[in-house]
Each structure stands twice: as structure tokens, then as C-alpha cells.
């Protein structure tokens, strides 16, 4: 739900449906690949710790990028048609 709210806030009415669909598709692709990646990390290291660290760090980095603005540290000019 949160990614869709972010899309709605960052993109105009014309682009939001297309961007939201892409965000959902990317989310599903990551969710489908994650078990294999975590399993490979477990096989390579013999421990679940690297997978748990990865599963913790990636969302934290993503949240940081969302909160600060990925390109420019929150100094991005507003896009036409956005609700900023």
C-alpha cells in the first residue's frame, strides 16, 4: 500500500497508474526471486545471518531514499501536476 501512496504523491494523474503497475510488477519479481537468493546465501555461508541482514538492510536503505529523495537529497524540484 505504501508504494502506491508514494507513486500517487510523486507522479501526476496521467502517469500514476502506469508507474503503480510497474511498482507492483517489480515488487512481485523481487518477492519471487528472494527465496532463491536467500537460499543461495545460506548455501554459500552456511548461516541464515547474511540473508536476515540483507532482508533488514535493503528496506531500511529504501526507506532512507524515499524520505530523503533518491536524487538530490530531498532537493528535487516538484514535478508538474504533483501534490507537493
Question: Cβ atoms within 10 A of the Cβ of 14, count?
Answer: 8
Q: Is the pTM of this model over 0.85?
A: no
Question: Is the pLDDT reported for residue 75 higher than 60?
Answer: no
Instruction: Give the pLDDT score at 12.
Output: 83
**Residue 73 pLDDT class (50, 70, 90 cuts):** very low
Residue 7 confidence class, pLDDT cut points 50, 70, 90: confident
Q: Where are the domains of the chain?
A: 2-68
Lookup: cell for 35: 527465496
Count H helices, E strands: the chain? 3, 0
CB-based contacts of 20: which residues, under 8 Å, 6+ apart?
3, 4, 7, 8
State the average pLDDT for the chain. Answer: 83
Amino acid at each position: 500500500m505504501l508504494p502506491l501512496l508514494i507513486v500517487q504523491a510523486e507522479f501526476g494523474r496521467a502517469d500514476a497508474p502506469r508507474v503503480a503497475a510497474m511498482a507492483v510488477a517489480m515488487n512481485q519479481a523481487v518477492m519471487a526471486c528472494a527465496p532463491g537468493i536467500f537460499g543461495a546465501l545460506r548455501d554459500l555461508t552456511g548461516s541464515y545471518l547474511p540473508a536476515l541482514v540483507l532482508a533488514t538492510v535493503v528496506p531500511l536503505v529504501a526507506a532512507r531514499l524515499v524520505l530523503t529523495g533518491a536524487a538530490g537529497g530531498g532537493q528535487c524540484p516538484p514535478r508538474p501536476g504533483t501534490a507537493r
